[in-house]
Structure 1
Amino acid sequence: MAASDILNQALHFVRQYPVPVVLVLIVLNLLWNKFQPGLVSIPGPTAAAYTKLWRVYSVWRGHAHLDAVNLHKKYGNLVRIAPNHVSVADPKWIPIFYGIKEEYTKTGFYPIQCISWKKNPEMNLFSTQDPEYHRIEKRKVGHAYSLPNLLQSEAAIDSCTNLFMQRLNEFASQGQPIDLGAWLQYYAFDVVGEVTFASKLGFLEQGSDVDGMMKAIEGMLTYASLCGQVPEMHQLLLGNPMFTKVMPAMETWNQVLVFTLKAINGRASIKRDGELINADSEGRDMLSRWAYVKSSDPDKMSTRDIVVHLSTNVFAGSDTTAIALRAMIYFLCRNPRCMQKLVADIDAADRAGKLSNPISYKEATDIPYLNAVLKESMRVHPSVGLLMERHVPPQGVEIDGHFLKGGTIVGINPWVTNHNTKIFPNPEEFRPERWLEASEQQLKAMDSLWELNFGGGARKCIGRNISWIEMQKVIPEMLRQYTIELTDPKKEWHVVNHWFTQQEGVICNLRSRK
């Protein structure tokens, strides 16, 4: 029988019995997923080995971070959480998966989180999968994120702190409860504005979500976290080329990009051809620095570069910091002994004349218990709540006797390593003293896990110094000026994990200590 006859008979059969054929194909696909060599013997939820939908459901529920911790408690070091995804708990793989050389490359989860500029997708330092592109772009802007350069804007950050204290005083003087979790995010947004544009973004002044940006970012993260579990669907949804043809350019409707361009135009002008002119070259903020580089050597910095990196600051610069700040206040309030100890240390430094008004970054770093509280808060409640995915390189890798072929997706969830019982005994307990009592060897092991909160290797969060400065400065200033208590001490906060582990319900009463 000729090949054409066989094909015609097959097509006839498919047309005659479409539903059974589709069902058979689905079953075959599920069986292939389940019995892939190297993966079939790795334990995990039964459904996860057959379909990515188990993982989508876990993320949709908003508890994927807790699922990850519980799965590793149940199954051990390796857990298969999707047909081609393996979650790893052993900390020794951190420098391998997230090494400087980037042999383990980012997956399709990340490009979903990029902007579109003039209807073209534009990758940022976080979203790009290309290590060489990342190196080129980081060389352009990395210097601006160094601690010494950021501290040149400390006076501008202080202005945010002073305004924040003024707004808190309004609630304290009236005896009104305050959603301190929301106000901490307002503070983080305005600090990003000062560092990025030399201008507050208006959150503290208005006491609300300016231009709906917080809500917009929440929506973007929800989409990215869910679609990121099945990234091929992005090409059928918002990544569909038809979407850009029927929709206006992103810079006209995406709140983050619109706000970024508005902030840029407040200090400069963007011509229709995309050229940036009339920017202030004297300031210490990032817009000024990068506009100056562009004006002096256009080959080193383009308008596209400036827009992409500034919008990334606005998008990513507040959520993770606000999560950490909320965690510190929440855990201190729920652990009065720790709160009393930190307040006593701050007061002692204040009485000794070691603190300015407001407290400087350098002064705060000289309060050991404060640093312990910051680290312990971020350990117990990391901001990142999903697997930090990477592709296994082409040669494959053997982990605990299982050979994973190239292209398999592996990664570590910071919630898993931060709750490692060997490194952090009684990991659920909030105990800042563990950072002060540890031996040098223990502390090194603890720090190596804790650092994963900011990513690893070449892809470590470039804005981590901004967050660290904010946390060091604003927490001791708040506790120096106010007694802070949860309005309902028995009520736990509500956490939803859509990539970032956002908390709600940090409602507090404030009393002035003056």
Structure 2
Amino acid sequence: MVLEDIVAVMARHWPSALAVVIIIHFVRNYYHNGLNQYPGPALARITNWWRFWDVLKRRPEVTHIRLHKEHGDVVRLGPNYLSFADPRAVKDIYGLNKGFIKSQFYPVQQSVSAGHRLPSLFSTTDETFHAGLRRSVNSAFSMSTLVQYEPFVDSTTALFLSQTDKLYAAPGVICDFARWLQYYAFDVIGNMTYSERHGFIERNEDIEGIISYLGKLFSYVAPIGQIPFLDLLLLKNPLYLLAAQYGFIDATFPVARFARARLEERIASSPSKPASSSPPDLLSKFIAAQQIHPETVTQKEVLTLAVSMAFAGSETTAISLSAIFYHLLRNPPYLTRLLAELDDAERRGVFADETPGVVSWAEAQQLPYLDAVVKEAFRIHPAAGLPLERVVPAGGATIAGHFIPGGTIVGCSAWVLHRNLTIFGSDAAFFRPERWLASSGSGDGKGEAERIAGMNAAMFHFGSGSRTCIGKNISLLEIYKVVPSLLREFEVDFADGRKEWRLWNSWFVRQLGFEVRFRRREAGKVG
């Protein structure tokens, strides 16, 4: 009887009742876990939709930098979400054996093949799965091992230089440089993974729409990941995936389709290695790991590893390469100094040109100003444009001096950390490679060494701790080879005087409208 009376009252006064429920919900969010003590936008304190909208506008990194400048080291970005700018937070959150796990933002990024999710080293929230899989394949990604793959990078880089001349320099055609560098990064990783390039550079087109698809996918992932349950209503709707499993629809991601085809070809021909005349590629390493650790590395994991190489590896490397060239063109004195270093190395016979025109990894390590330029580009434009989310362990944890209750989502953004004035200097907002070089006039060699070591320790572009990007050495190998190789061969300049690009933060901060012209360059002189 009482229940019926309550229902009757609710029916008559449902607008008021709904308003009360909404108010209670927002009040609970505001005071959730005592996080009301931390500053942040008013709407962010009561709803995740504020963060969804901010990310959907495609420049959340600008918002995060501004909020930390206004409010300090801890900013509340959601009812259960704190962003940290204090560098000490990195060790507290991402350090080994701290007990923090990845949030539900990451499964939104999982690939799908034949209706099945493909949790990867990057996207899984299962630490046991991650530890076992990473331990099984870690040796394939060490720098000492990766140098064995250098011939794959050499052949693709040589083709890239040749096609740059043929398609752009010789005819004087304007180049969408960010897209061209993305083609390069995809073909390198394809060659290194399968001993077969995708064909982006040869055909100068987006093969099977893979790059376009990834762009759309990341544009989906970034905002949807702020409210992850939306993914279960959309791209990973259980009914949609079930229909794919039974073959009614094809929900396989294009990159997964390509990787699966290459894996099937390899298994059909030679399970553990490419052609005998070729060096071992990553796929052969993954299949070998499957044979050694069959309980951990199944064929599904082999496919996932192959897919993830293209997913994150090519996208982030292309972004870093674009950042290097863009900031050099925007700052001609720095470009001039780098060209002088390359020309000096040329005169001293540093470049053996074992692969004509291509700088080797060992040769690149003899170029200190190149190293400074690369590090400064990593600092000023890290590829990831959102905080790397983690969940505080059940018992709570102290982060940079603040006790944070268990279950709270916390994270640091490289875009915020890399602009720390104390560590990187008062001009941290500007591109200046010289900050990475010891000042000869300081008279304090030890102090300069400590200053540079402090900057290196604060860099967060590859993440930190046990979930540090496993492919970082692949990216470094590509970058340190192609940048000097391209600048030895060509003069690069903005097309038609355009110097501003447009940034699009869809989890990774992509660059749009970066158009250039190339001219052949010989021994430091424009040809």
TM > 0.5: yes
Q: Is the 8 A contact 2:273 2:280 kept in 1?
A: no
What is the letter of the counterpart of residue 463 of structure 2? G
Q: Is residue 2:458 matched to residue 1:449?
A: yes
Query: How far apart are the structure 2 equivalents of 1:446 and 1:401?
Result: 22
Deviation at 1:24, TM superposition (A): 1.8
Deviation at 1:167, TM superposition (A): 0.9
Name which of 179, 182, 187 aligns with 1:185: 182
Q: Is the 8 A contact 1:251 1:257 kept in 2?
A: no
The within-5 A match list for 1:79-478 is 79-170=75-166, 171-247=168-244, 253-269=252-268, 280=274, 283-295=279-291, 298-299=294-295, 301-357=297-353, 358-398=358-398, 403-425=403-425, 426-437=427-438, 439-450=448-459, 452-478=460-486
Deviations for 1:211-230, whole angstroms, at most 9, x for unmatched residues?
A: 10111111111221111101
Query: How far apart are the structure 2 equivalents of 1:251 and 1:299?
Result: 29
Q: Is the 8 A contact 2:61 2:386 kept in 1?
A: yes
What is the letter of the counterpart of residue 228 of structure 1? G
Q: Is residue 2:13 matched to residue 1:14?
A: no
C-alpha distance 108-208 of structure 1, shift in aligned 2 (>3 A): same
Deviations for 1:74-123, whole angstroms, at most 9, x for unmatched residues?
A: 11111111111111100011111111214111111011111234433231
Deviation at 1:28, TM superposition (A): 0.9
Aligned to 2:454, what secondary structure does the other structure show? Answer: helix
Moved more, 403-412 or 342-351: 403-412
Deviations for 1:400-432, whole angstroms, at most 9, x for unmatched residues?
A: 775421111111010000011111121122110
1:503 paired residue number: 511
Aligned to 2:492, what secondary structure does the other structure show? Answer: strand
Deviation at 1:232, TM superposition (A): 2.2
2:525 paired residue number: none
Deviation at 1:130, TM superposition (A): 1.6
Aligned to 2:432, what secondary structure does the other structure show? Answer: coil
Query: How far apart are the structure 2 equivalents of 1:93 and 1:300?
Result: 32
Matched residues, number: 504
Aligned to 1:10, what secondary structure does the other structure show? Answer: helix
Query: How far apart are the structure 2 equivalents of 1:234 and 1:17?
Result: 34
Deviation at 1:377, TM superposition (A): 0.8
Query: How far apart are the structure 2 equivalents of 1:278 and 1:447?
Result: 38
Please, which runs of 5 or more residues in structure 2 have no aligned partner? 440-447, 523-527
Deviation at 1:177, TM superposition (A): 1.6
Moved more, 498-507 or 97-106: 97-106
Q: Is residue 2:28 matched to residue 1:29?
A: no
Q: Is the 8 A contact 2:390 2:410 kept in 1?
A: yes
Query: How far apart are the structure 2 equivalents of 1:400 and 1:368?
Result: 34
Deviation at 1:493, TM superposition (A): 0.5
Q: Is the 8 A contact 2:389 2:411 kept in 1?
A: yes
C-alpha distance 259-93 of structure 1, shift in aligned 2 (>3 A): same
2:442 paired residue number: none
C-alpha distance 21-180 of structure 1, shift in aligned 2 (>3 A): same
Query: How far apart are the structure 2 equivalents of 1:368 and 1:37?
Result: 49
1:41 paired residue number: 37
Q: Is the 8 A contact 2:266 2:274 kept in 1?
A: yes
Q: Is the 8 A contact 1:86 1:410 kept in 2?
A: yes
What is the letter of the counterpart of residue 433 of structure 2? P
Deviation at 1:10, TM superposition (A): 2.3
C-alpha distance 297-126 of structure 1, shift in aligned 2 (>3 A): closer
Q: Is residue 2:74 matched to residue 1:68?
A: no
Query: How far apart are the structure 1 equivalents of 2:224 and 2:28?
Result: 22
C-alpha distance 269-25 of structure 1, shift in aligned 2 (>3 A): farther
C-alpha distance 201-400 of structure 1, shift in aligned 2 (>3 A): closer
C-alpha distance 25-42 of structure 1, shift in aligned 2 (>3 A): same
Aligned to 2:235, what secondary structure does the other structure show? Answer: coil
Q: Is the 8 A contact 2:495 2:516 kept in 1?
A: yes
Deviations for 1:146-185, whole angstroms, at most 9, x for unmatched residues?
A: 1111111111210001100011112111122211111111
Deviations for 1:447-486, whole angstroms, at most 9, x for unmatched residues?
A: 1121x10011000000000100000000000111111111
Deviations for 1:277-321, whole angstroms, at most 9, x for unmatched residues?
A: 586485511112222344566445321111111011111121100
Deviation at 1:389, TM superposition (A): 0.8
Output the aligned Cα RMSD: 2.0
Query: How far apart are the structure 2 equivalents of 1:235 and 1:284?
Result: 39
Q: Is the 8 A contact 1:150 1:195 kept in 2?
A: no
What is the letter of the counterpart of residue 262 of structure 1? A
TM-score (norm 2): 0.91
C-alpha distance 373-297 of structure 1, shift in aligned 2 (>3 A): closer
Query: How far apart are the structure 1 equivalents of 2:100 and 2:293?
Result: 34
Query: How far apart are the structure 2 equivalents of 1:281 and 1:143?
Result: 21
Q: Is the 8 A contact 1:145 1:466 kept in 2?
A: yes
Please, which runs of 5 or more residues in structure 1 have no aligned partner? 271-275
Aligned to 2:306, what secondary structure does the other structure show? Answer: helix
1:273 paired residue number: none
